[in-house]
Structure 1
Amino acid sequence: MMRLDKYLADMGKGTRQEVKKYIRKGLVTVDGVAVCSPEYKVEPGMEILLDGAPVAYAAQEYYMLYKPAGVVSATEDKRETTVLDLIRDKKRKDLFPVGRLDKDTEGLLLITNDGELAHRLLSPKRHVDKVYYARVDGLVTEATKQAFLEGVNIGSREEPLRTMPARLEILRTGQEGGRPVSHVRLTIREGKFHQVKRMFRSQGMEVLYLKREVMGPLALDESLQPGAYRPLTEEEIKRLKEQ
């Protein structure tokens, strides 16, 4: 059981003060009866309408988002479009991105309000696989693969920061626009700041395009276009929680 005003606020229908005004104006009904007390106790399963529109309760929500370039991985930003701005039909107001992708990076991003799951996926102790497709300015070779497998220093000479072993797959290399360009797939098991870009930079190369394809057991749905999203399936949620 929870207060009616908390129920409505949790479902993103306004701040606690705003929804209290709606309730006191008689705009809210519970099981067909108008309720004017914000303290009225309700629970999931009751029919709750706000100005005639149903307000269904969701304790937890899980969305797979194809993050496009140009959008920031934040819950709010006064100047930039955030990943949460893209989730238009969310019920809850406490959603957040699990981890982050750089503004210019595309790909898979999990949006949820499940803090326990987020902690498990991001914990350095769990070493969850993250797979990226990258287009790199430079010639990636077998020597690059071996260096990544052994771990590379993405810090400085004075303050070294060595990465964990990473798997690098060379998809193709060749000349593009008069310069050598490599298309690769990289699997890392950690998430240091700008890690993929810094790994290639340590080898004298720059990442031109970066897209995250996989996080743990969750793979980006190929039917999604940049900026699109969908709720996770029950099976996907189950696999994530077993991670």
Structure 2
Amino acid sequence: MRLDKFIADANGLTRSQAKKLIKDGSVSVNQKNIKQTKYQVDAKSDVVQLEGTTVIYQKYSYYMMNKPKNVVSATSDDSEKTVVDLIAETKRKGLFPVGRLDKDTTGLLLLTNDGELAHKLLSPKKHVTKIYRALIAGEVTEKTIQIFAKGITLRDGETTKPAILKILATNSKKKETKVEISITEGKYHQIKRMFGAVSMKVQELKRVQMGNLKLDEKVNLGEYRELTSEELSNLVKKID
């Protein structure tokens, strides 16, 4: 791999920025100062340092975000703030959200530059489970649970796959129910449409799990962190 590519990819820099650092003498390979941008390095065995700090090359990046409301799940938008805008500029290069959460939905969102992993997670053939918690306007009952378990015919005639619905708490005075729902597909506004089909309305919606990846509740709304090696390994095992 070319040294300028190594430095650019590992530090979220443009190739031009990486070349300037190399030519300025800020980069060494195996304790030898290198100023040739085309110099070939082995990402696994060579020790590359930038201004005295060892650079760890990672081909792909994986971030868990606790998505806030009023942010769209996109890489760019002319009028709205996107989830990628919440990532530090030095870490944004090539990142995209895996799937999407509605603008008013919060919770777990994976951002990566690993297209193969994203494709597997979103493939209908993989049946990756997504778990949400919601506040529903209406009283969810055992009958509702049974309807969801069989799959629902939406108002437009489209049919969903079976879903697991659990009642977490009921407020009879306000006629509200807190629920947890597990689905294995990702139709447009699916959960809102499912409850709409049984004459109920979703007031709050938060995703808490995707496959084996659970939202770290220590990650505040609008914040993110890298996946641990264990989280990534478990996520990959689920879909391979």
TM bucket, shorter chain: 0.7 to 0.9
- The alpha carbon displacement at 1:32 in A equals 3.8
Counterpart in the other structure of 1:28: 27
Q: Say whether the 8 Å CA contact 1:128–1:215 is kept in structure 2.
A: yes
Instruction: Kindly indicate whether residue 6 of structure 2 is the aligned counterpart of residue 7 of structure 1.
Output: yes
- The alpha carbon displacement at 1:52 in A equals 5.2
Q: Say whether the 8 Å CA contact 1:11–1:91 is kept in structure 2.
A: no
Q: Distance in 2 between matches of 1:90 and 1:14?
A: 7
Q: Deviations over 1:180-210 (max 9, x none)?
A: 2111111111111111111111122221100
Q: Distance in 1 between matches of 2:57 and 2:184?
A: 35
Q: Distance in 2 between matches of 1:21 and 1:155?
A: 59
Q: Distance in 2 between matches of 1:47 and 1:20?
A: 18
For 1:38-187, what aligned pairs fall within 5 Å after superposition? 38-44=37-43, 45-51=45-51, 54-88=54-88, 93-154=93-154, 156=156, 160-175=157-172, 179-187=174-182
Counterpart in the other structure of 1:201: 196
Kindly provide the amino acid, as one letter, of the partner of residue 171 in structure 2.
G
Q: Say whether the 8 Å CA contact 1:26–1:35 is kept in structure 2.
A: yes
Question: What SS class does the counterpart of residue 10 from structure 1 fall into?
Answer: helix
TM norm structure 2: 0.86
Q: Say whether the 8 Å CA contact 1:129–1:216 is kept in structure 2.
A: yes
Deviates more, 1:123-132 or 1:8-17: 8-17
Deviates more, 1:45-54 or 1:200-209: 45-54
Quick one: which of 220, 240, 243 aligns to 2:215? Answer: 220
Structure 1 unmatched ranges of 5 or more: none
Question: What SS class does the counterpart of residue 200 from structure 1 fall into?
Answer: helix
Q: Say whether the 8 Å CA contact 2:170–2:178 is kept in structure 1.
A: yes
Q: Distance in 2 between matches of 1:92 and 1:68?
A: 18
Q: Distance in 1 between matches of 2:12 and 2:227?
A: 23
Larger % of helix: which? 2
Deviates more, 1:190-199 or 1:32-41: 32-41
- The alpha carbon displacement at 1:163 in A equals 0.2
Structure 2 unmatched ranges of 5 or more: none
The root-mean-square deviation of aligned C-alpha atoms, in Å, is: 2.4
Residue identity over aligned pairs, in percent, reads: 50
Cα distance change on mapping 1:17 and 1:79 into 2, 3 Å: farther
Q: Distance in 1 between matches of 2:86 and 2:55?
A: 21
